[in-house]
């Protein structure tokens, strides 16, 4: 069973799993990983104890891991707390779905939730299974490092700074220990050391073994040196360590080269703050704005990939703030605006925040440190400093557009449409048709935006709910818009932005904070529950302006407010500029790589629009569905049925070949020239088939079968071992005598008929089963070991035949080359 190697494989896996620590907020996951490793090791030991074939040995750890997961996560639904039931399996499936949803919603580190713990348990358990199979069962410890390395690749691919050197060193030490244990067992398997007389003469004394301590010390030094080089060398290579060996600029974040800014997922931070029961103060600010201040924006998410909203900022050296002034706000050229000065103080507890929360649109920022600005979105960020604990002053232009200004701002350039109305093809067409239906009768993008906001906040039947998950697929978005209608600001902002893009209105999603609450005249306080997401729509002359689809008041986020320009009664044109000549909705245009954007051609109430909506696609249920489970269950059933099916086919083929009549003249061993004369082929073949079936049944039930035994010796051993009754003992003797007659007897001694031998084999099969344990009986039915033995023998025979054919081919080719060389004329001097 190789207990020592099993323990070392488990320790190596556990040491390698330490490298996963950057992916999780807490440390509870490690104890679940420890339990998974122990369960897999126990399952592997049991599988080897039962002598399960190597190809099926992973079933033991898999079953043990399933029992462990049932005991830890769904014990209340299981039989006696550990035996899986349909209800417990459904619970595990739901937890896996929740864990996958959390992993998709959150950037590393993810919250310490039960679904995440289950995913970690399954993942580490799978790695432990592969490591045990390679290092222990197949005795290939070196390739076992590949699954261990796979665990390091996950945090290295997700996090910019990879894995801590100490975690890497522990994992490397575990792998080296596994290699040393494997080498020790391999050398120990050679037997005792043999010492020559010369060694005794050169090493006199009482020592009975050579001193190998210096050699072992050298090996350990080589291993430690290799690990140290692997840890320290990358720090000196430019571009690998973000700040060089000593934290200098190098070519990393502080350098002048362009690089992509990476931060935690804004939606992740938003969800954490909204659900955090602490709800502490995240920032305070003072403003000279005469009216209640506007929202404080952190991120502008302008890319939608079909599942989530993201952004990408390519930072350049010229983006550094030198004189603290920022580029002009895009599009804010006609609408009136007011200059506002805000002094912000960010809490020290707001860690890893590299973007500044500011009222839009900022025009000037005064802050210490190295900060940069993304000109298209006016996001201000730093590559090395954090906003936590910082105080800064920002001057911004607060746009004050009237409904008339927005009515007249519905003309867009082709670049604006291609970039900010792009939607991937994965977005269901039902979202487009729903957007057209909700905004029916609208003549301008502004009227469509107002109707969309009103539908979310008033007429659509939506409710604010922090307990729902984030939509992960297009079908989930459709369910949110048409069935569930429950969510928080993230869902409302994302859905309205998608629907606006479906109508051809440039849109993006912003993440930051609402205005918070006033604590004194001109001084405001923002808490974690004020974290918010909202859509921003673009109108020529006013630029990017916010809308508020999230329900407010007692049924929603209390600090969310609808801007005054969005309350014009669906674009009636009251107040502001003249609206007698509104701009029509933009026509459809194709985004690069996506489907056509804009929705005018789906409208039958617009002048000149004669198109009709496309047929509604079939609605797909949310969640993972049952197809993967059905496919996995079918595959498992096929794997379990493979070995019994092969055993049954082998038995049937063996008896069919023995019972069918000979196609030609009856010739059987011994041949016609043998002095014993010819024997009917069917009788001899039936005897050999019965003997082989007896051997296969014995191997299946765990009864040893030495290949060097004669039939009579086998009869004596099996009779003593099994304690056979009279019918079984008689059947065994007839089978053995038939095999002896088929091998050695003259022609007048013909073996018994095939039907009698077949019945004797069934009798002996029952005798094997009655003397075996229940486990051995089930193993003989589900995992017959004889199939592996026969496959091994067939492979050996095929290998020998291949070697003979190859040898003959090489010999023929060599003779041919020799003859060709003999025919060629020799070159004379």
- Look at residue 509 in the predicted model and tell me its pLDDT: 93
pLDDT digits (tens, 9 = 90+) for 17-62: 888 877 777 778 888 889 999 999 888 888 888 887 777 878 888 9
Span 556-575, mean pLDDT?
64
- Look at residue 285 in the predicted model and tell me its pLDDT: 93
Same domain, 578 and 639: no
- Look at residue 150 in the predicted model and tell me its pLDDT: 78
- Look at residue 747 in the predicted model and tell me its pLDDT: 56
Same domain, 609 and 639: no
Span 70-76, mean pLDDT?
88
Closest CA to 47 of 65, 30, 23: 65
Same domain, 445 and 564: yes
Q: Is the pLDDT of residue 477 over 80?
A: yes
Span 101-127, mean pLDDT?
80
CB 137 within 8 A of CB 48: yes
- As a whole number, the mean pLDDT across the chain is 76
Same domain, 576 and 457: yes
Instruction: Tell which phi-psi region holds residue 709, choosing left (phi > 0), alpha (psi between -120 and 50) or beta.
Output: beta
More confident position, 243 or 534:
534
- CA distances for 759 relative to 332, 678, 754, 765, 777, angstroms: 96, 26, 9, 10, 20
Q: How confident is the model at residue 340 (pLDDT cuts 50, 70, 90)?
A: very high
- Look at residue 571 in the predicted model and tell me its pLDDT: 40
pLDDT digits (tens, 9 = 90+) for 46-57: 888 888 777 787
Q: Is the pLDDT of residue 379 over 70?
A: yes
Span 584-610, mean pLDDT?
39
Same domain, 654 and 747: yes
- Look at residue 162 in the predicted model and tell me its pLDDT: 56
Give start and end residues of each alpha helix (H) in 349-487: 403-407, 414-420, 429-438, 445-454, 474-479
Report which secondary-structure segment, H or E, holds 372: strand 372-374
Closest CA to 355 of 392, 325, 307, 328: 392
Same domain, 600 and 706: no
3-state secondary structure 202-238: HCCCCCCCCCCHHHHHHHHHHHHHHHHHHHHHHHHCC
- Look at residue 394 in the predicted model and tell me its pLDDT: 92
Q: Which two tokens stand for residue 2?
A: 């190789």
Provide the domain limits for residue 79.
Answer: 2-193+209-236
Closest CA to 585 of 501, 701, 525, 472: 501
- Look at residue 396 in the predicted model and tell me its pLDDT: 93
- Look at residue 446 in the predicted model and tell me its pLDDT: 93
Question: Under 8 Å CB-to-CB from 733, ≥6 apart: which residues?
Answer: 715
Asked whether residue 594 is domain-assigned, the answer is yes
Asked whether residue 37 is domain-assigned, the answer is yes
Could you give the CA distance from residue 517 to residue 284 in angstroms, rounded to a whole number?
10
Asked whether residue 349 is domain-assigned, the answer is no
Q: How confident is the model at residue 452 (pLDDT cuts 50, 70, 90)?
A: very high
User: Beta partners for 286?
Assistant: 343, 523
Asked whether residue 794 is domain-assigned, the answer is no
CATH number, residue 437 = 3.10.620
Asked whether residue 824 is domain-assigned, the answer is no
CB 335 within 8 A of CB 542: yes
Question: Which range, of 335-349, 357-371, 564-578, 702-716, averages the lowest pLDDT?
Answer: 564-578
Span 92-102, mean pLDDT?
85
pLDDT digits (tens, 9 = 90+) for 163-175: 666 777 777 788 8
Q: Which two tokens stand for residue 157?
A: 């691919």
Q: Which two tokens stand for residue 603?
A: 């409208």
Could you give the CA distance from residue 164 to residue 19 in angstroms, rounded to a whole number?
8
Q: How confident is the model at residue 324 (pLDDT cuts 50, 70, 90)?
A: low
pLDDT digits (tens, 9 = 90+) for 540-561: 999 999 999 988 755 556 678 8
Same domain, 585 and 642: no
Asked whether residue 297 is domain-assigned, the answer is no
- Look at residue 626 in the predicted model and tell me its pLDDT: 55
Same domain, 146 and 112: yes
CB 524 within 8 A of CB 285: yes
Instruction: Tell which phi-psi region holds residue 389, choosing left (phi > 0), alpha (psi between -120 and 50) or beta.
Output: left
Q: How confident is the model at residue 805 (pLDDT cuts 50, 70, 90)?
A: confident
Closest CA to 1 of 43, 36, 39: 43
Percent of the chain with pLDDT over 70: 71
- Look at residue 672 in the predicted model and tell me its pLDDT: 41
Same domain, 608 and 654: no
- Look at residue 228 in the predicted model and tell me its pLDDT: 59
Number of domains in the chain: 3
Question: Under 8 Å CB-to-CB from 197, ≥6 apart: which residues?
Answer: none
Question: Which range, of 114-128, 139-153, 255-269, 351-365, averages the lowest pLDDT?
Answer: 255-269
Same domain, 588 and 646: no
CATH number, residue 754 = 1.20.120
Asked whether residue 199 is domain-assigned, the answer is no
Same domain, 175 and 230: yes
* CA atoms within 13 A of residue 342's CA, in its CB half-sphere: 33
pLDDT digits (tens, 9 = 90+) for 239-294: 444 443 333 343 333 344 445 555 556 665 666 666 665 678 889 999 988 888 88
Asked whether residue 704 is domain-assigned, the answer is yes
- Look at residue 469 in the predicted model and tell me its pLDDT: 64
Span 299-321, mean pLDDT?
80
Same domain, 578 and 699: no
């Amino acid at each position: 069973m190789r207990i020592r190697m099993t323990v070392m494989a488990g320790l190596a896996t556990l040491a390698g799993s330490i490298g996963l620590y950057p992916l999780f907020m807490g440390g509870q996951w490690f104890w679940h990983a420890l339990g998974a490793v122990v369960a897999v090791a126990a399952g592997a030991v049991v599988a080897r104890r039962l002598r399960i074939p190597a190809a099926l040995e992973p079933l033991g750890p898999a079953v043990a891991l399933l029992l462990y997961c049932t005991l830890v996560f769904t014990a209340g639904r299981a039989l006696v707390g550990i035996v899986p039931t349909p209800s417990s399996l459904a619970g595990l499936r739901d937890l896996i779905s929740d864990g996958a949803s959390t992993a998709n919603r959150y950037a590393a580190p993810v919250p310490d939730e039960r679904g995440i713990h289950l995913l970690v348990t399954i993942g580490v358990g799978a790695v432990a299974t592969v490591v045990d199979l390679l290092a222990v069962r197949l005795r290939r410890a070196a390739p076992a490092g590949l699954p261990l390395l796979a665990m390091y690749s996950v945090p290295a691919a997700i996090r910019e700074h990879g894995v801590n050197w100490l975690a890497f060193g522990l994992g490397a030490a575990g792998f080296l220990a596994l290699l040393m244990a494997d080498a020790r067992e391999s050398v120990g398997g050679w037997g005792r050391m043999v010492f020559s007389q010369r060694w005794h003469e050169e090493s006199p004394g009482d020592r009975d073994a050579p001193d190998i301590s210096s050699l072992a010390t050298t090996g350990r030094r080589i291993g430690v040196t290799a690990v140290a080089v692997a840890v320290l060398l990358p720090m000196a290579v430019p571009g690998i360590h973000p700040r060089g060996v000593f934290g200098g600029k190098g070519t990393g974040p502080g350098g002048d080269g362009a690089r992509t800014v990476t931060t935690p997922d804004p939606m992740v931070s938003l969800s954490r703050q909204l659900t955090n029961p602490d709800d502490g103060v995240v920032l305070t600010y003072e403003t000279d704005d005469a009216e209640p201040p506007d929202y404080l924006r952190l991120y502008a998410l302008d890319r939608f990939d079909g599942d989530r909203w993201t952004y990408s900022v390519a930072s350049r050296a010229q983006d550094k703030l030198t004189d603290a002034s920022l580029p002009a706000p895009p599009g804010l050229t006609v609408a009136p605006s007011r200059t506002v000065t805000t002094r912000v103080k960010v809490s020290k507890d707001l860690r890893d925040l590299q973007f500044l929360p500011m009222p839009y649109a900022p025009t000037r920022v005064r802050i210490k440190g190295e900060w940069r600005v993304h000109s298209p979105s006016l996001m201000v960020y730093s590559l090395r400093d954090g906003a936590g604990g910082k105080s800064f002053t920002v001057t911004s232009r607060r746009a004050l557009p009237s409904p008339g200004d927005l009515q007249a701002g519905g003309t867009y350039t082709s670049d604006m449409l291609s970039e900010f109305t792009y939607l991937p093809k994965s977005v269901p067409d039902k979202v487009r048709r729903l957007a057209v239906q909700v905004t029916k009768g609208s003549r301008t993008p502004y009227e469509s935006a107002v109707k969309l906001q009103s539908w979310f906040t008033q007429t659509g039947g939506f409710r604010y709910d922090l307990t729902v998950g984030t939509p992960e697929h297009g079908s989930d978005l459709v369910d949110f818009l048409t069935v569930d209608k429950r969510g928080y600001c993230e869902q409302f902002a994302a859905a309205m932005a998608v629907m606006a893009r479906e109508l051809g209105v440039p849109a993006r999603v912003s993440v930051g904070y609402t205005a918070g609450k006033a604590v004194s005249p001109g001084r405001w306080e923002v808490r974690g529950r004020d974290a918010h997401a909202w859509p921003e729509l673009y109108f020529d002359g006013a630029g990017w302006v916010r809308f508020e689809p999230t329900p407010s008041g007692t049924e929603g986020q209390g600090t969310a407010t609808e801007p005054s320009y969005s309350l014009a009664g669906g674009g009636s044109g009251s107040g502001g500029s003249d609206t007698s000549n509104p701009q029509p909705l933009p026509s459809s245009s194709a985004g690069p790589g996506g489907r056509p954007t804009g929705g005018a051609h789906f409208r039958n109430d617009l002048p000149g629009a004669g198109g009709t909506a496309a047929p509604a696609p079939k609605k797909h249920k949310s969640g993972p569905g049952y197809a993967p489970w059905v496919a996995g269950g079918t595959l498992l059933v096929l794997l379990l049925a493979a070995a019994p099916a092969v055993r049954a086919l082998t038995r049937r083929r063996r008896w069919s070949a023995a019972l069918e009549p000979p196609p030609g003249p009856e010739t059987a061993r011994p041949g016609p020239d043998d002095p014993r004369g010819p024997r009917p082929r069917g009788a001899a073949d039936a005897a050999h088939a019965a003997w082989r079936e007896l051997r296969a049944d014995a191997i299946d039930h765990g009864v040893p079968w030495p290949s060097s035994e004669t039939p009579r010796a086998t009869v004596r051993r099996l009779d003593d071992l099994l304690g056979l009754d009279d019918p079984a003992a008689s059947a065994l003797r007839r089978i053995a005598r038939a095999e002896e007659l088929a091998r050695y007897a003259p022609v007048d001694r013909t073996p018994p008929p095939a039907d009698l031998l077949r019945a004797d084999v069934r009798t002996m099969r029952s005798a094997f089963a009655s003397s075996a344990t229940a486990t051995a009986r089930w193993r003989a039915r589900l995992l017959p070991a004889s199939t592996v033995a026969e496959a091994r023998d067939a492979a050996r025979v095929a290998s020998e035949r291949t070697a003979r054919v190859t040898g003959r081919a090489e010999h023929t080719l060599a003779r041919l080359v020799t003859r060709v060389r003999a025919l060629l004329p020799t070159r004379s001097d």
